Structure 1
Amino acid sequence: MRTRFWRLLILAAVAANGDLAAQPPEGSQLAPDENACVMCHGEKELWEGENLRLYMPADQFADDIHWQKGVNCHDCHGGDPTVFDPGDLHAAEDGFRELADVRKACGNCHKDQLTALRKGVHAKAGERDENDRGTPMDCGACHGANLHRVYPAKDSRSPVFSNKQVQTCGGCHEEDLQTYAKTVHGNGLFESGLMVTAVCSSCHGAHGIYYAADVRSTLHPANVAATCGKCHRFIEERLEASEHGRGSGPGRPAERAAPGGAGKRKPSCTDCHQSHEMLNPEELPFQLALSNRCGNCHPDLSSRYGMSLHGELTRLGYAPAAQCDDCHGAHDILPVSDPKSHLAAGKNRLATCRQCHLHAVRNFSSFDPHANYTDAQNYPFLHFAYSGMEGLFYFFFGFFIIHAFLWFLRSFIHTFQQGRHKTLVTDSFALVRFEAIHRVLYLILIVAFLGLTLSGLPLKYGGQSLARGLGGFDSTRIWHHFFAVLAIFGCAAHLVWGTTRITKLRKEGMGWKAILFGPDSPLPGARDFKDLFGMVRWFFGMGPKPGFERWTYWEKFDYWAAYLAAAVIGTSGLMLWFPNLFCTVLPGFALNVAKVIHSELAIMAASFLFIFHFFHTHVRPEKFPMDLSALTGLVSEEHLRKARPEYVERLEREGKLLEIRRTVPSRKRLRLIMLGGFLVFLAGCGLLVAILFANLGK
Structure 2
Amino acid sequence: MTGRGHPGMLLTCACLVLAQGFCRATAQNIPDSDCLVCHSDRTLTKTNDAGREISLFVDEAQLRNSVHKTNTCSSCHTDITPKHPDDEVPAARVDCGRCHAEQTRSYGASVHGQALAAGRADAATCQDCHGTHDVLPPTSAQSPLHFSRQADTCGQCHPGEAADVAASVHGQAAARGVRDAPTCTDCHSEHRIEALSTGQPRRIAEKVCSRCHASERISTKYHLPPDRVKTFFDSYHGLASRYGSTVAANCASCHGWHKILPSTHPESTIHPQRLVETCGKCHPGATENFARSRVHVDLAASPADADLGTRINWWVRRIYLTLIVLVIGSMFLHNILLFLKKIAARLRRADRPILRMDRSQRWQHGLLALTFIVLAVTGFALKFPDSWIAWMLGSSEPLRRWAHRIAGLLLLVLGAYHLLYILTRPEGRRLIRDLWPTRRDLRDLLAAAGYLTGLSRQKPRFGRFGYVEKMEYWAVVWGTVIMGITGLMIWFKIPVTQWIPRWAVDVALTIHYYEAVLACLAIVVWHFYHVIFDPDVYPINPACWDGRVSRHWMEEEHPLDESLRSPSTPTPDPHPNPVPTGQPNATPQPPASPDPPAPA
Tell me which interval the TM-score lies in, with the shorter structure as reference length.
Answer: 0.3 to 0.5
User: TM-score, normalization: structure 2?
Assistant: 0.45
When Rg is computed on C-alpha atoms for both structures, the one with the higher figure is: 1
TM-score (norm 1): 0.40
